[in-house]
Structure 1
Amino acid sequence: EDTHDIAVSTFKQITLYTAKVCPYAQRVELALAEAKADFKSYQIDLQNKPEWYAPQVNPASKVPAIAYGGPNVSPDTPSPDSIKIAESLVLLEFIADLYPSAHLLPTDPVARAQTRFFIDAVSTKFAPAYVGFVVRGESYETVLKAFEAIQSLLPNEESPKFAVAGQYTIADAAIAPFAARLRLSVENEIGVFAPGEGAKLIKELKTPKYARFFNYVESLFQRDSFKATFDEEYVKSVFLKRFNALRAEK
């Protein structure tokens, strides 16, 4: 009974402020799902954010953000007594620390460093290449270079399932949302890139040169946590609306 009381008294509520369209927010949803965490979720309309969100949750007015601890209140009336934490990569490490039994961040110092190095490559190479191609219409050559950079960090297996240490880590959560949105964009020709460029990129990706990268991200897409946190039809509908408007402006 004493143990039960301690567990109950030390449990702190988690409220995640998220948006289905946002890859940064999905990173955190993936980590929480993999940790089998108990949490509340509140969808923020990024085009029409609630007036209370910036002053009471995240002054930067972005998602994801977490309200941690404090009283168990409705997400739309956040308590000043809860700790507010933002930025997806900060939150990934926070969740890994909260749920050590999920092994989202390896205990081995080398594997921890490799996890963070992989995430850095996602931040500095993969995510910018995705944005450059899909949002700004830059050459897909940058995307291919990003594939190569990520592939060079993967375990030397034909079909690697995880980025590091033979287990699901925050490195996998960091890349999966961007890889999924890139796939959705190129398969459906949704983006400001020139018509036909998406098909060319898919053709390149399916060559043996990128097989390990392709097999890796496909295995991430098959996980229950991914399927539960990626509403493909919703994201597709938002992308169509957004990118058709951007293409019209070009």
Structure 2
Amino acid sequence: MMSQEQPAAVKLIGWFGSPYAHRAEVALRLKGVPYDLIMEDLSNKSDLLLKHNPVHHKVPVLLHGDRPGICESLLIIEYVDEVFDGPPLLPSDPLARAAARFWASFMDKEFSESMWMALWTDGEARAAAARETKANLTLIEGQLTEGKRFFGGDTIGYLDIALSGIAHWIGVFEEIAGVRLLTEEEHPALCRWAKEYAGDETVRQCLPDKDRVVAVLAPRKELYVSIAKAMTAQN
């Protein structure tokens, strides 16, 4: 009698406090995929990380059996959704799927850049970036359908995961920087969604404690400021 083939092992290279690693981890949990989490030391990057992400040397990286590593959190979510059984993460409708991908890209490009400048610059540069960030939050909030708990409907999907930095990490950075960008007065629906997301039972299993994340990231504040200054110089 032939033995049944065992499923290929899944490993995730991540780092505590990384919103991008969280994206990959929560996707695996929502799909019910068992995995081993390998915590990376970003100050002394491992040969494993360098081998499987030779271009950017960043987390997360998903390892699935003997396949090449899958890099970039949004690509990992799509891979997990396509390869493994379980509730779908991306919408089935092509138009809705394209829209979800658009707003995920908007989060990682336009929104992240303006938020970074609003947090780590000062003076008029910070004020202008804060206005842009709040306008971007309004655009994102506009994608929430009234009466639905999440961006894709009543269950967490691709876009909720892509926007999870707003649900948890923006508060971390606000505390470190001493800046308020997301408030219930200006964006009540988005704040409601953020609480729904962070309170989900599956999400909570891999959502790092906010106080611990603040403690880990606060010593990096000068680094963040220097990155913002470099971005200003480039512009």
Shorter-chain TM-score range: 0.7 to 0.9
Question: C-alpha distance in 1, partners of 2:109/2:118?
Answer: 15
Shift of residue 178, structure 1, vs aligned partner: 4.2
Question: Structure 1 residue 106: deviation in Å?
Answer: 2.2
One-letter code aligned to 2:201: D
The RMSD of aligned alpha carbons is 2.6
- The one-letter amino acid of 1:58's match is N
Please tell me whether residue 236 in structure 1 is matched to residue 226 in structure 2. no
- Matched to 1:206, the amino acid is E
Alpha-carbon spacing, 1:65–1:88, altered in 2? closer, same or farther (3 Å)? same
What SS is found at the alignment partner of 1:229? coil
Unaligned runs of 5+ in 1: 71-81
Q: Deviations over 1:8-48 (max 9, x none)?
A: 44x22111000112111111011111112111110011122
After superposition, where does 1:75-224 map in structure 2 within 5 Å? 82-137=67-122, 138-139=126-127, 140-157=130-147, 160-186=148-174, 188=175, 190-191=176-177, 195=178, 197-198=179-180, 201=181, 205-207=183-185, 209-224=186-201
Distance in 2 (CA, whole Å) between partners of 1:34 and 1:93 is 13
Offset of residue 248 of structure 1? 10
CA distance in 1, matches of 2:95, 2:41: 40
Tell me how many residue pairs correspond in the alignment: 221
Deviations 1:141-160 (A, max 9, x none): 12211210101111134xx4
Residues 234, 112 of structure 1: alpha-carbon distance in 2 compared, 3 angstrom cutoff: same
Can you give the 5+ residue segments of structure 2 that lack an aligned partner in the other structure? Answer: 230-235
Identity of aligned residues (%): 21
Cα 1:152–1:178, aligned 2, differ >3 Å: closer, same or farther?
closer
Instruction: Tell me if 1:62 matches 2:58.
Output: yes
Cα-to-partner distance string for 1:104-139 (whole Å, 9 max, x where unaligned): 112222332232233123223332233222244533
| CA distance, structure 2, for counterparts of residue 116 and residue 248 of structure 1 | 30
Does 2:222 correspond to 1:227?
Answer: no
Instruction: Give 1:94 shift.
Output: 0.3
Relative to the length of structure 1, the TM-score reads 0.78
User: 1:246 & 1:217 partners in 2: Cα distance?
Assistant: 24
* Deviation (angstroms), 1:246: 5.7
TM-score, normalised by the number of residues in structure 2 = 0.83
What letter matches 2:60 in structure 1? P
Alignment deviations for residues 52-91 of structure 1 (CA, whole Å, 9 cap, x no partner) = 431x221021101011113xxxxxxxxxxx3211011111
2:39 is the counterpart of 1:43: yes
- Tell me the secondary structure at the aligned position of residue 46 of structure 1: coil
The separation in 1 between residues aligned to 2:223 and 2:110, in whole angstroms, is 27
Q: CA deviation at 1:103?
A: 1.1
Contact 1:130 / 1:178 at 8 angstroms: preserved in 2? no
Q: Which residue of 2 aligns with 1:77?
A: none
Find the aligned partners of 2:43 and 2:121 in 1 and give their Cα distance. Answer: 20
SS in 2 for 1:103: coil
